[in-house]
Each structure stands twice: as structure tokens, then as C-alpha cells.
Structure 1
Amino acid sequence: MSKSAAGFLILALLSGVMHFALFEDTEITLPLVGCGVFAVLFVLALVAGRKIKFDPVLR
């Protein structure tokens, strides 16, 4: 896992915990939206970190 993916994972977890700790009654808050954004960025960082090599044989 790359450093950026680990950073996004930590940010997603922290913002999710902040949502549940501070806003128990509200459904959608800024920390919850941030959690979703950081989770998407985490998945994108994981995909980008795989360094997939595509070498088709074209004849």
C-alpha cells in the first residue's frame, strides 16, 4: 500500500469516527461527506499504486 493510500485510509477512518462521535442524530454531515470522498480517493490510490503493465502483442 502506498503512502498516499494509507493517508487517505486514515483520513477516511478519522472523519467517519468524527461523524459518529459528534453527530449521532444527523444523517448527512460534512465529516460523512469527507469520509466518502477520502474512501474514493483511497480506492483510486490503490488502483494507481498497482502499476499494472499492459503489454499487448500486436501482429
Structure 2
Amino acid sequence: MSKSATGFLILTLLSGIFHMSTAEDSTVTLPLIACGVFGALFVLALIAGRRIKFDPVLR
């Protein structure tokens, strides 16, 4: 996992935990929106950081 993916994972977890600790009902809060944004960026960082090895010789 790349450094950016790790950072986005940590930010996702922190904002999710912060939302769970502050929101008492099921409302959309800023930490919940940030959790969704950071989660999407985490997935994009995982996709961008993936190294795909291509073998042109099919065996």
C-alpha cells in the first residue's frame, strides 16, 4: 500500500470514528461526508498505486 493510500485510510477511520462519537442520530454531518470523500480517495490511491506487470509472451 502506498503512503497516500495509508494516509487516506487513516483519515477515513478518524473521520468515521469522530462521526460515530459525535452524532447521536442518523444525520449527515461534515465528518460523515469527509469519511466518504476520504474513502473514495483511498480506493483511487489503491488503484493508482497498483503495479501491473504485463508479460507480452503468452505461454
Aligned Cα root-mean-square deviation (Å): 1.6
Q: Supply the distance in 1 between the matched residues of 2:41 and 2:55 (Cα, whole angstroms).
A: 27
Query: SS in structure 2 opposite 1:35?
Result: helix
Structure 1: give runs of 5+ residues left out of the alignment: none
Match of 2:31 in 1: 31
Match of 2:22 in 1: 22
User: Structure 1 residue runs of 4+, over 4 Å off?
Assistant: 53-56
Is residue 2:39 matched to residue 1:46?
Answer: no
Count of residues in correspondence between the two structures: 57
Q: Supply the distance in 2 between the matched residues of 1:55 and 1:29 (Cα, whole angstroms).
A: 47
TM-score (norm 2): 0.84
Aligned residues with identical type, % of pairs: 70
Match of 1:3 in 2: 3
Structure 2: give runs of 5+ residues left out of the alignment: none
Specify the code of the residue in structure 2 equivalent to 1:23. A
